[in-house]
Amino acid sequence: MTTTHLIRQKNPPAILSLGFRPFFLLGSIYAAVLIALWVPWFLGLISVPSAFPPTAWHAHELLFGFVPAIVAGFLLTAVPNWTGRAPVRGLSLGALVLLWLTGRIALALSAHLDPLLTAALCVSFPLALAAVIGREIVAAKNWRNLKIVGALIGLAGADALFHYEVFEFGRLKHAQTLAVAVALLLVMTIAGRIIPFFTTNWLKQNRPGALPQLFGRYDMAAMLLSGAALLGWACLPVLESLTAQARPIVGSAMIAAAAAHFYRQSRWTPLRTFAEPLLAILHVAYVFVGLGFLLSGLGVLNDNFEFASAGLHAWTTGAIGTMIIAVMTRVSRGHSGRKLTAPVSTVVLYATALIATCARIGAALHPELTSILLPVSGAAWILAFGGFAALYGPMLMKQRL
């Protein structure tokens, strides 16, 4: 038995016993704090000592701060089940948490730091996470999940590009769309496995009848189509310089991907799950994957900024944000020994997350209402993720029942 394995066997504090505990807690707190800062900053009411302008800081910290924290919590909890190996815990887990925190502090104070140092501190976390997850997968020869490592490396690359574009050009060109595409592919991959699996288990116990179709050839075809559409979307400015047909081709591919995801979801029998909100919210969140493709596709076809922005926020606030709170509540309840059912307080979290999503999409489609809908969306987002930290924080810091 190796020294590392022996260290892992020791009993660390509850908060460092599994990856979901520190990362879900800190990630949810950070999600609430960054929106609480960004909305008044965006409206010109406060200033922040960051070298990034408010819109770029907001995008960066959602895509490279908040999202990787939750992804880390999920993967560090799920990978031991995939591989049969001991989980990363204790000092090793604490080091990853510290690395994530360092990146957040560096970006917040980046006006006083060297740009290269800021970039290095931010990019180091997804690379370290990829190395840890990759080590576990390779050691267990769990080759089919190596694509997760590739996605993490892609996220790190998008983060590096983000820093380069901000400091070289003063604005974003490709990094934000690339990061959204990678994050969305992660959501589609993970959700495509856990939603039908969780739905099947619940239906067998509670609603005998038709069961979801598990991951198969159709899902693979939908993922390939989506990947191609997202690649075209992320590279649209380059493609437009090469051919006048770029917009019709990419826009049509995105609308086709929307149809593919709506049909994909219909194969998971979503309407049979609404008696249990803990399960139903996963299906509701996935609706925004298809909706984002549809709105973004219309935006590309018509060169329409409102539709493009609405599609982007359907993906980020809806598909990613709502899916995150759905997964966090389920994983936290299951791994802390609670019943896999959503109490009223948790349903309120889901409602506020959906309000945040709908208000943000509405603000994109109706810019004249931004001063009303943006604060509504921000307040609802803060209630959703701040509420998660308040409700679930105590169970994350205590041993499993």
- What is the predicted pLDDT for the residue at 237? 87
- What is the predicted pLDDT for the residue at 54? 86
All residue ranges of the chain with pLDDT < 70 are 1-10
At 198-230, the pLDDT tens digits run 999 999 998 888 889 888 899 999 999 999 999
pTM: 0.91
Q: ∠ CA(70), CA(67), CA(363), 5° rounding?
A: 130
Q: Domain extents for the chain?
A: 1-173, 184-401
Contact 49, 109 (CB under 8 A): yes
Residue range 184-401 forms a domain whose CATH class is: mainly alpha
Contact 249, 232 (CB under 8 A): yes
User: Could you identify the residue written with the tokens 């889901």?
Assistant: 350
User: What's the rounded Cα separation, in Å, for the pair 112 and 89?
Assistant: 34
